[in-house]
Amino acid sequence: MIERFNEGNHAAICDRLAEKDSDLRSILQAYGYPPVWTRTPDFPSLIHIILEQQVSLASAKAAFNKLSEKLGAISPQALLELSDEELRACYFSRQKASYARHLATMLVDKKLVLENFIDAHDDVVRKELKTVKGIGDWTVDIYLLFALQRCDIFPTGDLAMINAFKELKGLPKETTKEQIVEMAEQWRPYRSIATYMLWHFYIKSRNIRI
């Protein structure tokens, strides 16, 4: 059975993690519960995540909003009908335009069916999504977290999460991702919610507006 987090169980899971880990408890004490960040499990969400690769959230949102204005409803077929110039006008780099087109083509050709992921194992989702050009582990992790709301995802490719972990735990900068993964084992099977707590800490402690 696939376990998901949602508005109904989110706070209780945060409390359970806080009982295990005093550092996570300190986040709740200082900033309260993190939001339950979610997105719909569909093509527009995947496009948005691709746009977020290695850029600021604000830049990605500007590009996504521009695409929304252009197309209205963002669908694979509609995106494939846009020219290179039209995608550039929506702030897509040449590389991300290529990624978006490959994803759209796979969906139109039924080589990828997003609806099948709703009840699929995390590893199956990861394997299938990574057949798309430009989709790697970070993009899959964010989709599993935000769109599919899986409980035990730990996105080691996310710099904000890694930096928040080091800061919260007082770790040296040279601490490796492998060491962080090992330390995060105590949070299983709810590493997703621990990740949300770390992002919450990162955002609130820096007064970031999103």
The pLDDT tens digits for 181-190 are: 999 999 999 9
Burial state string for 158-170 with b = 16 or more CB within 10 A and e = fewer than 16: bebbbebbeebee
Q: What is the CATH number of domain 10-36+153-205?
A: 1.10.1670.40
For domain 43-147, the CATH class is mainly alpha
Domain boundaries for CATH 1.10.1670.40 within the chain: 10-36+153-205
Structure tokens at 210: 């999103």
Query: Helix, strand or coil for residue 183?
Result: helix
Domain boundaries for CATH 1.10.340.30 within the chain: 43-147
The pLDDT tens digits for 128-165 are: 999 999 999 999 999 999 999 999 999 999 999 999 99
Question: How sure is the predictor about 209, in pLDDT bands with cuts at 50, 70 and 90?
Answer: confident
CA 24, 203, 182 angle in degrees (round to 5)? 40
The confidence score (pLDDT) of residue 10 equals 98
Query: Helix, strand or coil for residue 8?
Result: coil
Cis previous bond, 189, omega within 30:
yes
The pLDDT tens digits for 89-123 are: 999 999 999 999 999 999 999 999 999 999 999 99
Residue 210 pLDDT exceeds 80: no
